[in-house]
Chain A
Amino acid sequence: MRFDNLLQSVGGTPLVGLPRLSPTPDVRIWAKLEDRNPTGSIKDRPALLMIEQAEKDGLLRPGCTILEPTSGNTGISLAMAAKLKGYRIVCVMPENTSDERRQLLRMWGAEIVSSPAAGGSNEAVRVAKRIADEHPDWVMLYQYGNPANALSHEQGTGPELLADLPEITHFVAGLGTTGTLMGVSRFFRAHKPSVKIVAAEPRYGELVYGLRNLDEGFVPELYDADLIDSRFSVGPRDAVRRVRELLELEGIFAGISTGAILHAAMGQAAKAVKAGERAEIAFVVADGGWKYLSTGAYEGTVDDAEERLEGQLWA
């Protein structure tokens, strides 16, 4: 496949069957390999569309500075696009994120502002909003509330899935900004409303939930609960166990959050088997495991890995 430049190659990712993890020939699981995007994660889709939309709206002009709160992947995607398009970029990232993410951000030219570990991404959002107030000329694309985030999946991820798997019954993805689930759900609600939309939400260690009070909680502006059919909380133990199974049985080396998504997908598969129903379950491989090697999730016992992930923003 040929493209004029890297940005044009975003999306169009493979969907691969998982014959060993699929429980029966009637209940099959499919992996959408979003790690095959230019910077290695699904976030290339929303990042590119958010930038293009801001350019179209006249918000982003040559010489502008982009500001974004991110736990890593969105920042990396934005930094790549910003480098090619000539924008300066400042990312606000919680300090409890892996070193690989910081190194990659710096390589693509991003400046990093660290936010406190306690409170996780909530704090990054808060710090970014404060910086945005101090620099009114900077452009915060704000992935948590930017409709172009969800739209990139409504126009890309969703149609690709239906084209490759017309018999799809379930779609399972991670819940962070909620963009993937909102966009893909809008597409299927319009084109194949029988598809069940399932969210897998990472459950971190206590540090990340260390808010000062409940009013500091955060629900992304993009989130619409009516677009989701079930939502599961998956802890690091199940995520690590599944991400290792995915490599062991199917050869796929994925990031830790994908383990959490696979866990929810396997839960749907087990339910279908029990009910004697057919199911074609597609789930998202959000990124590869490369950026998480230093977390220790891939070595030693599952107990060791779980302990090492305590307090880390692993998704």
Chain B
Amino acid sequence: MTIEVKIPTILRTYTGGEKSVEAEGGTLTELIDNLDANHPGLKDRLLDGSVEGGGDLRRFVNVYINDEDVRFIGGLDATLADGDQVVVLPAVAGG
């Protein structure tokens, strides 16, 4: 099962400059672990390690599965299927 993950400019130092990388996992937690195995350090930038038990998404990190914000579909437990697209973006203002 392969999932395409789009990486924002600010985190591309961890992916050797790649805009998009492939990763595997049935849940977002598994996907992030798999990402970190191939791109060490990425997990720490996405998750707030100060929280007991592995942490949650950092406040200014937004992750979308097929354009839907994961915070509303289970957070780190959100499930993934083959062919899904994951986008990681920093939170920015509108208005």
Contact = CB atoms under 8 A, between A and B. Distances in A.
Interface of A: 69-71, 74, 119-122, 124-125, 143-144, 174-177, 179, 199, 201-204, 206, 208-220, 225, 228-234, 315
Q: Which of A143, A211, A229, A234 has the most CB of B within 10 A?
A: A211
29 contacts: A69-B95, A71-B94, A74-B95, A120-B92, A122-B92, A122-B93, A144-B95, A174-B94, A176-B94, A177-B93, A201-B69, A204-B92, A206-B8, A208-B92, A209-B89, A213-B10, A214-B60, A216-B90, A217-B59, A217-B92, A218-B60, A218-B91, A218-B92, A219-B60, A219-B91, A220-B93, A229-B72, A231-B68, A233-B62
Given A232-B68, A233-B87, A206 B9 contact: yes
B37 interface: no
Given A209-B10, A211-B90, A214-B10, A177 B95 contact: yes
A20 to B, nearest CB: 24
A229 B69 CA distance: 10
Given A144-B95, A229-B72, 17 more contacts: A121-B93, A125-B93, A174-B94, A175-B94, A177-B94, A203-B87, A206-B9, A208-B92, A209-B10, A209-B90, A209-B92, A210-B9, A211-B92, A216-B60, A231-B69, A233-B62, A233-B64
B69 A232 contact: yes
Contacts of B64: 232-233
A211 B92 CA distance: 9
A215 B91 CA distance: 10
Contacts of B52: none
Contacts of B1: none
A228 B72 contact: yes
Q: Which of B11, B89, B90 has the most CB of A within 10 A?
A: B90
Contacts of A315: 94
A71 B90 contact: no
Contact of B67 (A218, A219, A232): A232
A230 B95 contact: no
Interface in B26-76: 45, 58-62, 64, 67-69, 71-73
A71 B90 CA distance: 18
B87 to A, nearest CB: 7
Contacts of B67: 232-234
A-B pairs, 9 with minimum CB distance: A217-B60, A176-B94, A121-B93, A231-B69, A177-B95, A176-B95, A217-B91, A217-B90, A218-B93
A212 B60 CA distance: 13
Nearest to A225: B71
Contacts of B68: 230-233
Contact of B92 (A69, A74, A121, A215): A121
Nearest to B9: A206
Nearest to B8: A209
A214 B45 contact: yes
B63 to A, nearest CB: 10
Given A214-B45, A214-B60, A201 B90 contact: no
Given A203-B89, A209-B89, A231 B94 contact: no
A119 B10 CA distance: 11
B95 A201 contact: no
A144 to B, nearest CB: 6
Contacts of B69: 199, 201, 230-233
Nearest to B90: A217
A120 B92 CA distance: 8
B92 A214 contact: no
A124 B61 CA distance: 20
Nearest to A215: B60
